[in-house]
Structure 1
Amino acid sequence: MGSRKNSCSKTGETWDLETLDSSSPDSANHLEEQWLKSTRSLSDDEHSVEVVLEDSRELLSLTSPPPGREIIRYEVTVNQRNIEDICLCCGSLQVYTQHPLFEGGMCAPCKDIFLETIFLYDMDGHQSYCSICCFGKTLFICESPDCTRCYCFECVDILVGPGTSERISTMACWVCFLCLPFTRSGLLQRRRKWRHQLKAFHDLEGSNPVKMYKIVSAWKRQPVRVLNLFGKIDKELESLGFLESGSGSEEGRLKYLEDVTNVVRRDVERWGPFDLVYGSTQPLGYSCNRCPGWYMFQFHRILQYAQPPSGSQQPFFWLFMDNLLLTEDDQATATRFFQVEAVTLQDVRSRVLQNAVRVWSNIPGLKSKHSALTPKELQSLETQTRTRGKMAAQKVDLLVKTCLLPLREYFKYFSQNPLPLYK
């Protein structure tokens, strides 16, 4: 991905923007006073949070429409067009729906790109693409605690004001437009209850039948409770900050089961409730006395016991990972049981395929960015496994972490295990 700017320690307070009514001056003024008081108290801190606001009434001195996305500012300020009638992502006037996070429209092609990329994350823990246009080569990282969002130079210059990206580049710490207590920055107006809007957008426009949960405000997130079947992922969870180092099952954060043959419903209900259920087939290269299909069927059985009551709005996620061991019949059965298509995730380093897995899950954003494995690629992986034994079999950790990254929108992650801002 493009380079990331403003890498500093995450500091500052979290603001309750979920209930802020932009039509209420009193509420907005109260939060603004709090914010200004807080930033003044940090004025001597090298990590002070800085704010960029622009006057959206500034008019362009142009007599004809500019090319590209500059037309957004021109149409709003010169032609007085409602920004809801312009695609916020590309500037098209062929609006299909509304942008879920900010006031503005969205054309059909940009809608498809947004749905596919809004829950994609890099291993630095931040989103892979701009939260406005879902593109962008060079991105700013929001430095608000527990925020994962990024914004591209082009969006901030066009929608906030010319030269904004240069000013942000000079800041020690920058807070994004979804975290500020101010609802407007230039032409960029945050939607009220944007978390609800994002869920509604996904439910209405998404093709995936799997239920999406509303993302959770940072101040409401709780530590994740995990039921871990067959393959341990405690180290991956700790490295992502979801588990405190050494907590394990002692504090009820993680329950690991290797053999579930005799586990019944009341056992799972007694151990739970759980927020995440994870299971997998054995890695390639490991010998076991059970067929791969056994892991899939047992995972599905335990999953039924762990699911919350029907109608619950509490975020609940599950993930089953196949290390390329299930037969075609087993794969078809898994798709029918889980009611979601599998995706193939590949670990490619230096243009060499290192590993791949098939994943069934309800975690948002788990779409494969790769085509299905060819017979030649599959044979290459099997050859690597035979050559390097268990070392090759243990290379699933990166793929597991890739799958779990979107959960940062739902659960608390601990500051003593921060992800690096750079890869």
Structure 2
Amino acid sequence: MAKKEPTVIVVDTDSPEEISSLSEAALPFSYRSSSEVISVSSIGEIPPATPLRPNTAASLENYGLDVISVSSSEGNLPANRENIIYDVIHGVRTIEEICICCGKLEIHTQHPLFHGGICAPCTEQFLERFFLCDQDGYHGDCAICCRAESLIMCDDETCNRCICPSCLDTLIRPGAGKETEEKNIKWTCLLCVPWEKNGVLKRRTRWRAELKRFYDQESNHLWIYQPLGPWEQKPIHVLSLFDNITKELKNYGFLGKGMGNGRLKYLDDVTNVVRTQIEELGPFDFIFGSTPPVAKSYNHPSAWYFYQYYRILEYGRPPARSDKPFFWLFIDNLVLEEEERNTASRFFQMEGLLRYQQHDDVVQNAVHIWSNIPSVQSKYSVSPLYVDLCLLAKNIQKTRIFSQRPATLIKEFFVPLKEYFRTFS
């Protein structure tokens, strides 16, 4: 009897147990002899096939061997993100076939800002993190992958976005990230420069409209207005109830002393304010409201602040079908009772977001926030806190160690408004 040629089984795992089980599953019974099986693992370490880099299976077939490729996971093997430029330039794959955030080939949809694919996990990451900002006034994540600890901030005065060095290396050219970091010069991101392509990174022509469509199609709990270009943005007009947030908005450039800058109207007691007065003062772009700090005395029952805010909010809203960006935000600084917070959630049609301030492992203060600003509703904004809030409020009132205004705890949530309203240096 002629001796059979050995059969090579190519698997993408280093686990002996998986190699054994996958080998058994892949071969007919007549081939299940250990002397006839050669297992090749760690295929994930081998670069993706290109015209200059044939894949492992093709190479083994050149030796006259029967090859059975077996994967321990569903879908295509992940592309090496470092090879995206090579593969796109040499026609191995189009940029639309690769997730430009991580390099995977299991594409869910297309990236909203740049030409290229995006996988399901990166889609979720992008939706939840794109509008998250830091208190320094910039986005907290890379505008491409919505990840990265190291970020390069755009120096355009109308932009507050960042790009990570890894994305520059992967999509523009190797070394571009480090070079940009080390150069002590102003740097402008690809969403702001006149040209639309650098390397294989190409900006979408109508990326703001694409971003709106992306959220509409992919998110079931985050809704956004379409961001506006600098030429479309107007100064913001703010109504601030029960707390004056002029300082916070000035810090981010929304308000200024010059003519034509943003405006803020502060009202402390609105008991006798009627709809016509709000209409005469408006129209408003942003209506803010807050309970007093829990350690300070206040002149009304706790629920008064919520009910009066909601009444004025209804007066100041634009018509239901208006596409004009309009934002609102209400904060409770541990003043509302639990039943009152539940009522607020029912009226606002969303759960309140809990944020707290901590020092040396001691929670000093906490607030609940309701808002239609996208970053407030992100899953990454939630701060799990296993503390009795009633006891915390009593401790603050007893010691009176905390008198900071509630708005100072959530000021980073004002930053996404830069996507819609003009700022001034």
Task: Bin the TM-score by the shorter chain.
Answer: 0.7 to 0.9
Distance 1:376 1:334, change over 3 A: closer
2:218 corresponds to 1:205:
yes
Structure 1 residue 359, shift from structure 2 partner: 0.5
Moved more, 303-312 or 63-72: 63-72
2:354 corresponds to 1:344:
yes
Distance 1:406 1:382, change over 3 A: farther
2:335 corresponds to 1:322:
no
Distance in structure 2 (CA, Å) of the matches to 1:133 and 1:173: 22
SS at the partner of 2:269?
coil
Q: Which position in structure 1 is the counterpart of 2:363? A: 353
The answer on whether the counterparts of 2:292 and 2:405 sit within 8 Å (CA) in structure 1 is no
2:157 aligned to 145, 155, 161, which one?
Answer: 145
Structure 1 residue runs without a partner (length 5+): 1-58, 416-423
Q: Which position in structure 2 is the counterpart of 1:189? A: 202
SS at the partner of 1:278?
strand
Distance in structure 1 (CA, Å) of the matches to 2:78 and 2:279: 61
2:103 aligned to 91, 100, 108, which one?
Answer: 91
Distance 1:98 1:352, change over 3 A: farther
Structure 1 residue 86, shift from structure 2 partner: 1.3
Q: Which position in structure 2 is the counterpart of 1:107? A: 119
Distance in structure 2 (CA, Å) of the matches to 1:90 and 1:382: 48
Equivalent positions of 1:3-402 (< 5 A) are: 68-78=80-90, 80-169=92-181, 170-208=183-221, 211-245=223-257, 253-366=263-376, 367=378, 369-376=381-388, 379-380=391-392, 382-389=394-401, 392-402=402-412
CA shift digits 1:128-169 (9 cap, x unpaired): 010000001211111112111111111000100111113312
Structure 2 residue runs without a partner (length 5+): 1-49, 56-76
CA shift digits 1:81-130 (9 cap, x unpaired): 12112111111111111110001111111111111110011111111010
2:419 corresponds to 1:406:
no
Distance 1:294 1:186, change over 3 A: same
Structure 1 residue 74, shift from structure 2 partner: 4.3
Distance 1:66 1:328, change over 3 A: closer
Aligned residues: 352
Moved more, 156-165 or 373-382: 373-382
Moved more, 112-121 or 199-208: 199-208
Distance 1:149 1:60, change over 3 A: farther
CA RMSD of aligned residues (A): 2.5
The answer on whether the counterparts of 1:344 and 1:370 sit within 8 Å (CA) in structure 2 is yes
Distance 1:399 1:118, change over 3 A: same
Distance in structure 1 (CA, Å) of the matches to 2:390 and 2:405: 15
Aligned amino acid, residue 144 of structure 1: D
Aligned amino acid, residue 118 of structure 2: M
The answer on whether the counterparts of 1:60 and 1:74 sit within 8 Å (CA) in structure 2 is no
Structure 1 residue 60, shift from structure 2 partner: 9.6
The answer on whether the counterparts of 1:354 and 1:381 sit within 8 Å (CA) in structure 2 is no
SS at the partner of 2:266?
strand
Aligned amino acid, residue 300 of structure 1: Y
TM-score by length of 1: 0.77
Moved more, 315-324 or 60-69: 60-69
Aligned amino acid, residue 262 of structure 1: N
Distance in structure 2 (CA, Å) of the matches to 1:71 and 1:350: 45
CA shift digits 1:247-297 (9 cap, x unpaired): 9xx988111111111111111000001000000112111222422211111
The answer on whether the counterparts of 1:282 and 1:292 sit within 8 Å (CA) in structure 2 is no
The answer on whether the counterparts of 2:110 and 2:116 sit within 8 Å (CA) in structure 1 is yes
SS at the partner of 2:107?
coil
Q: Which position in structure 1 is the counterpart of 2:40? A: none
Distance in structure 2 (CA, Å) of the matches to 1:68 and 1:284: 53
Structure 1 residue 225, shift from structure 2 partner: 0.5
Distance in structure 2 (CA, Å) of the matches to 1:185 and 1:192: 14
Aligned amino acid, residue 357 of structure 1: V
The answer on whether the counterparts of 2:375 and 2:381 sit within 8 Å (CA) in structure 1 is no
Moved more, 322-331 or 277-286: 322-331
TM-score by length of 2: 0.77
The answer on whether the counterparts of 1:66 and 1:74 sit within 8 Å (CA) in structure 2 is no
SS at the partner of 1:358?
strand
Aligned amino acid, residue 408 of structure 1: K
Moved more, 102-111 or 216-225: 216-225
CA shift digits 1:209-244 (9 cap, x unpaired): 6x4111111232222111111111111112222111
Distance 1:351 1:98, change over 3 A: farther
Distance in structure 2 (CA, Å) of the matches to 1:164 and 1:377: 49
Q: Which position in structure 1 is the counterpart of 2:3? A: none
